[in-house]
Amino acid sequence: MRGLEARSAALAAALLIACGAKPVEPSPVGGPAPTVVVPPKADTAERPKTPIRHPDREPPPPRAEPQVTDEELARILDEAARLAESGDRNGAMIALRACANKVPASVLCEARLGILLLDVDTRRAECRYFLGEAARAEDAGADAALYRELGDALMQLAMFDEAALAYQRRIDHGATDAADYALLAGALQGINGREADAADVLRRAFELDPTEVRYLHDEAVLRGQLPGQAGRAALLFREYVGRVPEGESAAKLEIRIAELEEIARQSGEASAPKGTAKKGAQKGPKEGPK
């Protein structure tokens, strides 16, 4: 019987050693020896670092890979357009990544990808990156229609500098209606220090379409905020009052006109604006802002 116990103890000790445990000598009192389990050594080997990018907060890495061929680019753009039209926006975005962030940049590819990313909250930084890059890059393949979409998308993100650039490119590509200049003026108003430029662009819009008196009104509002242009703003407001339906906003605007005329008088401004029509001319156009 003792031999059987000895063999059992030896077998148990062997199993403990195999499992990483260390047998302890029997206590002098007798009875089974306690088992002390030795924990495995910590793995201190250095692992390769794989930084995780957060596309909602971090833009893509700097562009380095070469752009695909013209034929492949055309195929990708066609496929992405087909997928987006069928409702598969994710598929379209996956397709466009093959030509995005490459050298040289493709405005068509990155603008389309950025516009699709507008609805993806978890990729906001990536969206801003591609839309901004598309506005800044030169691409003979882009057209006025694309720059309109691009500018509108940038305005949604309050990226006014880039939006103004996109709208200016739209004009450069032949879109020269009054509404196109009004879009550019709207973006310029969001840029600190560009209010005078915005007013000049609105003047151009009004010259192209004198029936849109809201351009005249908005120009007057902007010039009334600029140093040295209070008198000109007052005359623009008077012209606007003469063009809108009887009584519309007139009472409120007369108060503002009086304020501007007083500012102009105290500062000694020359108040006559250049290139404006006479008061009361061309009555009865589209209504201005109320």
- Res 289 pLDDT > 50: no
pTM of the model as a whole: 0.75
Strand partners, 212: 286
Region 79-96: mean pLDDT is 98
Decide if 289 contacts 217 (C-beta within 8 A).
yes
The predicted pLDDT at position 140 comes to 86
Residues 6+ apart with CB under 8 A from 61: 53, 101
CB atoms < 10 A from the CB of 230, how many? 22
DSSP 225-284: TSTT-HHHHHHHHHHHHHHSSTTSSHHHHHHHHHHHHHHHHHHT-----TTPPPTT-S-S
CA distance 68 to 104: 9
Region 115-141: mean pLDDT is 95
Per-residue pLDDT reduced to its tens digit, 232-283: 999 999 999 998 866 657 788 999 999 999 999 999 886 544 433 333 333 3
Structure tokens at 163: 């939006």
- Res 33 pLDDT > 70: no
Q: Which residue has the higher pLDDT, 244 or 46?
A: 244
Q: Which residue has the higher pLDDT, 47 or 98?
A: 98
Per-residue pLDDT reduced to its tens digit, 145-189: 999 999 999 999 999 999 999 999 999 999 999 999 999 999 999
The predicted pLDDT at position 17 comes to 57
The predicted pLDDT at position 78 comes to 98
- Res 79 pLDDT > 70: yes
The predicted pLDDT at position 258 comes to 95
The predicted pLDDT at position 273 comes to 43
The predicted pLDDT at position 234 comes to 97
Q: Which of 20-34, 71-85, 217-231 has the lowest average pLDDT?
A: 20-34
Decide if 255 contacts 234 (C-beta within 8 A).
no
